[in-house]
Structures are given as structure tokens and as C-alpha cells.
């Protein structure tokens, strides 16, 4: 009995010792990733023990912003951007586009200002004082880009912008306003040139019978909108008819900031020799072009103040007031007529603008240029490009009847949607029209000075009985003195 008890005690000691050793062993490191396990202990009330592995969600690093196409943008740059006549109507659009720009180019601060009637004076003063804006909205149609570029005030872009970015735009628009073969602007928004027609003057006020059927028109020129002249040389006879029947003057304005360009497009005038050493706009073509306007002034069929105004808004305001039969512009300015004189808007018709002897409809509308003296050229280029990229331009076109400078923008369904408002009447043909815009004016040395000379002598012919030939002869002689 004692022997059995001893054996049992020894066995119990061995078991207790074995259990103690097992609890102090180092855990074995497994090379297999742990997974949830269920362990069931038997011989005691059933207990379930689970080991839970925490799941971690990893957010992928965002890829490059597809709108950030300009490299080496200066960090923490602060730049100023001036626009022309866009506030307050488009404040939200401008601010939202700048916010999107900041997502593509974080760290760049943009200070935006909108200048209107005093834009040119403000800009010239800014350049003179050394504090002109970094990024500038300039009119291509008015010749502002080449004007400032010839003075060395704008940054040349061809060697600073990647070819893939240049290819975004219609080729003809990237090559506008060249100076010595170099481009100084990103093509921005464009216009389809149209004539706004006040049918109450052009046709007359409808007269109806008791059934509401129009039987005649009263108080107008009794003209047909469909017969509006297709070419510039039809305007003198039209203005004479309107004056005779309604005593209304035509609302026609010379491009006083770029007169040689107007000669080229309207009169097919060769304005300078091929070697660039002699001005030639006193040719028979040049005289014929100027004589057309001289004859209208002498006939008293055009508003003389509007004819030589340096503000296109003066011509718009005359039309909006209801005192003109027609006005050439883009459909984008119909909104001004609607807002300021709904009565005229109710009588509005739109027809294609007549073309000149060159057969080319015209240049682009607006561009965005960069100040040659900016401290942040890459940031400034990035902003100018961003506002003119397809996405930015489509969003702009949805707000007002302006048209993009890039072919891909027209793939947006907006441009194929039916046009209901008169403001959108040009939309179906816009891509084809914009693609054919071209700058056919040769480079003009000392452009601003030459234009001032030409304007001076053209006004002599218009208002002081100097013959068109004599006026242009004097202008050529004075302009040639500026050439080497």
C-alpha cells in the first residue's frame, strides 16, 4: 500500500512539473500570416476564443492632376490676373476656375482684378510704373497682343510651352498676333461674328388685323433680314436706304486700334512690302477701302462719333438704346441688350456678319498673355493656360455665347444640344467657323506708332476734306520714316 501511494505521488509530481515547463516556453514564430481561429476546450463547459486581425484601409496616392500641364511652377508664387469687362456677371465662374487651378497647382496665390472702360489706360500706366499684372486678358481682335508684344512687354511663349500643350489649340489661333514669328498669347474665348438687327427699324413694327395676322409693317425701312449684305461693300447702299426711310444712322465702328488689319481683312490691302522695308497701304486697294467710309460720312449715313470711337461699348450702347438698325458683334453681347433693353431684345434678329474682300472672316477674339517682367513666369503661364484649356472653356461657353479655342472642347454634348435662345443661334456652326479664323496680317514694325499715324490721316480724310489718296500717301511717308 505504501509502495502504491509513493508511485502515485511521483507520477503527480512529474505531471505538475511538465505543465509548469509548458507554460514558460517561448512562443514559436510562425511564418504564415495569422488568421482568425476557433479553439474549443473539452472536458469543461464549452468556451469559444477568437483571435481577430484588424483590417487597415490604405488610400492610394492620387495621380497627377490632368489639368496640370505646365512644369516647374514656382512654389508659393503670388500672381495678379486682369480681365476685361467680365465682372460682376462672371464673378462665380472666374473664382471657381481659380479654385480649380489651385487644386492643380497648389501653393500658387492668384489675385484677380477686372478692369473695364479704363483697361488700356490702367494697363499702360501699370507697365510704365513697373507694376503691371502678371497675367493679362488682351483682345486679339483689337490688336492689343501684337501692340504690347512689339514693345517688348509680353513674354514669348513658343519656347516655354510644351508642344503637347500647343497642340490643344486650333493651329490658326495659336499663330495669331505673331511678332517676328513668335506667339505671345494663349487663345481664349472667341466670337462668331454676327450682325444684331433691330427689326423694328430694319423692317418695321408689325401691323395686324382683327385675327392677329400681320398685314404690314410701319415705321421701318421695310427691308428683309434675309437680304442683309453678305459682303462689306454692300453696307453703303444699305445705310443710305435706312437713313432715307427711318432717318436712322448706321452704327459702324472702325477698328481704331488696328486699322491696318481692318484694311487687310475688308479691303485685301497689301499694307507692307514683302521685305518689310516699305509701307504700301496707299495702293489703289487701300484708297478704295478708305473711300467707302469717306463716302458714308459725306452722305451722312453713319454716326461719326461711333465710327472712330476707341470703345466698342459705345457702339453697343447705341444699338442697345434702340437708335440703330444693326450692330456687328458676337452673340455673347446679346445678354447686354436683353438686360438693358428688353424691348429691343424682343425685336432682335441675328444674321452672319458680312466678310471683306480677303474672304477671311477674321481673327480670334480674346487671348491671355504673360507680362515679360513677371517674377513667376511658369506660374503665370500655368494660369493663362488653365483658363484657356478645354474644360475651363466649356464651362464658360455654358454661361455665355463664346466659343473655345480647342477642337476637343466641342466634343462636349453641350455643343450638339438643340439651340433654343437667339444667343445660341451660332452654336451649331461654331466649331467650323472658329477653326477657320486666321491672322492674315503681316508683322508691322512699330505697330502702335504706325497705327497712330494711320488713324490721324484717316480722320483727315473722313472729316477734313482731305482726299483718301492724299491722306494715305502722307500716312505712308510718315510711317516709312520709322523703318530702318
Task: Encode pLDDT of 127-153 as tens digits.
Answer: 999 999 999 999 998 999 999 999 999
Query: Shortest CA distance to 148 belongs to which of 163, 126, 170?
Result: 126
What are 126's three cell numbers?
501699370
Query: Shortest CA distance to 285 belongs to which of 221, 356, 347, 335?
Result: 356
pLDDT confidence of residue 57: 56
- Give the three-state DSSP class for 95: helix
Task: Encode pLDDT of 429-481 as tens digits.
Answer: 999 999 999 999 998 999 999 999 999 999 999 999 999 999 999 999 999 99
pLDDT confidence of residue 419: 84
What are 430's three cell numbers?
461654331
Average pLDDT over residues 327-355: 95
The more confidently predicted of residues 166 and 49 is 166
pLDDT confidence of residue 368: 98
Give the chain's mean pLDDT. 89
Range with top average pLDDT, 6-10, 155-159, 207-211: 155-159
Omega before 88 cis (within 30°)? Answer: yes
pLDDT confidence of residue 224: 95
Average pLDDT over residues 9-37: 42
pLDDT confidence of residue 484: 86
pLDDT confidence of residue 447: 92
Instruction: Report domain extents, the chain.
Output: 78-191+363-435, 194-361+443-480
pLDDT confidence of residue 420: 85
Task: Encode pLDDT of 271-289 as tens digits.
Answer: 999 999 999 999 999 999 9
User: Taking a C-beta distance cutoff of 8 angstroms, is the pair 331, 433 a contact?
Assistant: no
What are 195's three cell numbers?
450682325
- pTM for this structure? 0.80
pLDDT confidence of residue 321: 97
- List b or e across 370-386, with b for residues whose CB sees 16 or more CB atoms inside 10 angstroms: bbbebebbbbbbbbbbb
Q: Is the pLDDT of residue 37 over 60?
A: no
Average pLDDT over residues 348-375: 95
pLDDT confidence of residue 55: 55
Q: Is the pLDDT of residue 103 over 70?
A: yes
Cα three-residue angle 441-442-447, rounded to 5 degrees: 90
Q: Is the pLDDT of residue 110 over 50?
A: yes
> What is the CATH number that goes with domain 194-361+443-480?
3.40.190.10
Q: Is the pLDDT of residue 32 over 50?
A: no
Q: Is the pLDDT of residue 12 over 70?
A: no
Enclosing H/E stretch for 206: strand 205-208
pLDDT confidence of residue 56: 54
pLDDT confidence of residue 349: 95
Give residue 62's pLDDT band: very low, low, confident or very high (50, 70, 90): low
Task: Encode pLDDT of 217-247 as tens digits.
Answer: 999 999 999 999 999 999 999 999 999 999 9
Q: Is the pLDDT of residue 39 over 60?
A: no
Q: In the CATH scheme, what architecture does the domain 78-191+363-435 have? A: 3-Layer(aba) Sandwich (3.40)
The partner residues of 218 in beta bridges, in order of sequence, read 205
The more confidently predicted of residues 450 and 50 is 450
Please name the residue that has the C-alpha cell 448706321: 250
pLDDT confidence of residue 15: 39
Task: Encode pLDDT of 183-208 as tens digits.
Answer: 999 999 999 999 999 999 999 999 98
User: Fold identical between 78-191+363-435 and 194-361+443-480?
Assistant: yes
Amino acid at each position: 500500500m505504501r509502495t502504491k501511494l509513493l508511485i502515485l505521488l511521483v507520477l503527480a509530481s512529474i505531471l505538475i512539473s511538465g505543465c509548469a515547463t509548458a507554460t514558460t516556453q517561448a512562443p514559436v514564430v510562425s511564418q504564415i500570416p495569422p488568421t482568425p481561429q476557433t479553439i474549443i476546450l473539452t472536458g469543461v463547459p464549452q468556451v469559444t476564443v477568437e483571435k481577430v486581425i484588424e483590417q487597415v484601409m490604405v488610400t492610394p496616392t492620387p495621380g497627377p492632376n490632368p489639368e496640370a500641364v505646365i512644369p516647374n511652377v514656382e512654389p508659393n508664387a503670388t500672381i495678379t490676373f486682369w480681365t476685361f469687362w467680365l465682372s460682376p456677371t462672371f464673378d462665380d465662374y472666374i473664382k471657381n476656375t481659380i479654385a480649380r487651378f489651385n487644386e492643380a497647382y497648389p501653393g500658387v496665390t492668384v489675385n484677380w482684378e477686372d478692369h473695364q472702360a479704363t483697361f488700356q489706360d490702367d494697363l499702360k500706366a501699370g507697365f510704365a510704373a513697373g507694376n503691371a499684372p502678371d497675367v493679362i486678358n488682351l483682345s486679339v481682335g483689337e490688336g492689343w497682343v501684337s501692340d504690347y508684344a512689339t514693345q517688348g512687354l509680353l513674354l514669348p511663349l513658343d519656347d516655354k510651352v510644351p508642344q503637347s500643350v500647343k497642340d490643344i489649340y486650333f493651329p490658326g489661333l495659336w499663330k495669331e498676333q505673331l511678332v517676328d514669328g513668335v506667339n505671345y498669347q494663349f487663345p481664349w474665348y472667341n466670337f462668331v461674328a454676327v450682325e444684331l438687327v433691330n427689326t423694328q427699324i430694319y423692317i418695321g413694327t408689325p401691323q395686324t388685323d382683327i385675327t392677329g395676322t400681320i398685314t404690314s409693317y410701319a415705321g421701318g425701312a421695310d427691308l428683309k433680314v434675309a437680304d442683309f449684305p453678305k459682303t462689306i461693300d454692300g453696307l453703303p447702299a444699305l445705310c443710305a436706304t435706312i437713313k432715307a426711310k427711318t432717318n436712322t444712322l448706321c452704327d459702324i465702328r472702325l477698328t481704331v486700334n488696328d486699322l491696318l488689319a481692318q484694311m487687310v481683312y475688308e479691303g485685301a490691302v497689301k499694307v507692307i512690302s514683302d521685305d518689310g522695308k516699305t509701307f504700301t497701304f496707299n495702293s489703289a486697294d487701300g484708297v478704295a477701302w478708305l473711300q467707302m467710309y469717306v463716302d458714308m460720312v459725306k452722305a451722312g449715313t453713319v454716326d461719326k462719333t461711333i465710327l472712330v470711337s476707341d470703345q466698342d461699348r459705345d457702339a453697343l450702347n447705341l444699338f442697345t438704346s434702340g437708335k440703330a438698325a444693326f450692330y456687328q458683334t458676337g452673340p455673347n453681347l446679346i445678354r447686354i441688350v436683353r438686360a438693358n433693353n428688353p424691348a429691343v431684345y424682343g425685336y432682335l434678329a441675328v444674321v452672319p456678319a458680312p466678310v471683306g474682300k480677303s474672304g477671311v472672316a477674321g481673327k480670334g477674339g480674346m487671348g491671355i498673355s504673360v507680362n515679360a517682367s513677371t517674377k513667376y513666369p511658369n506660374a503665370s503661364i500655368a494660369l493663362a493656360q488653365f483658363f484657356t484649356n478645354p474644360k475651363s472653356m466649356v464651362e464658360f461657353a455654358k454661361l455665355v455665347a463664346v466659343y473655345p479655342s480647342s477642337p476637343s472642347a466641342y466634343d462636349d454634348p453641350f455643343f450638339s444640344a438643340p439651340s433654343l435662345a437667339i444667343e445660341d443661334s451660332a452654336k451649331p456652326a461654331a466649331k467650323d467657323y472658329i477653326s477657320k479664323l486666321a491672322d492674315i496680317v503681316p508683322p508691322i514694325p512699330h505697330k502702335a506708332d504706325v497705327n497712330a499715324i494711320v488713324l490721324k490721316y484717316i480722320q483727315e480724310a473722313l472729316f477734313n476734306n482731305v482726299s483718301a489718296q492724299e491722306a494715305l500717301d502722307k500716312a505712308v511717308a510718315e510711317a516709312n520714316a520709322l523703318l530702318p
